[in-house]
């Protein structure tokens, strides 16, 4: 078997498994994960601009309901 084909097949299977796990999550869990990603991106952007971000702000931002 071609190594490249095997690698692509393994990667495709991993993606399908990851999508299945995501789809199995509850709507609330998906909301929490999405919000966390957004907060992490904002924090990263602020860090690049050398702007301080407190841990308290990050925790509050991740817990606040949209």
Tell me the pLDDT of the chain (66 aa) as tens digits: 567 878 999 999 999 999 999 999 999 999 999 999 999 999 999 999 999 999 999 999 988 775
CB 26 within 8 A of CB 49: no
- How much is the pTM? 0.69
Tell me what pLDDT residue 64 has.
Answer: 75
CB 58 within 8 A of CB 43: yes
């Amino acid at each position: 078997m071609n190594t490249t084909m095997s690698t692509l097949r393994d990667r495709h299977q991993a993606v399908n498994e990851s999508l299945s796990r995501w789809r199995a999550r509850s709507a609330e869990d998906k909301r929490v994960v999405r919000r966390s990603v957004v907060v992490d991106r904002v924090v990263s952007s602020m860090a690049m601009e050398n702007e301080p971000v407190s841990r308290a702000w990050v925790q509050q931002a991740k817990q606040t309901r949209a």
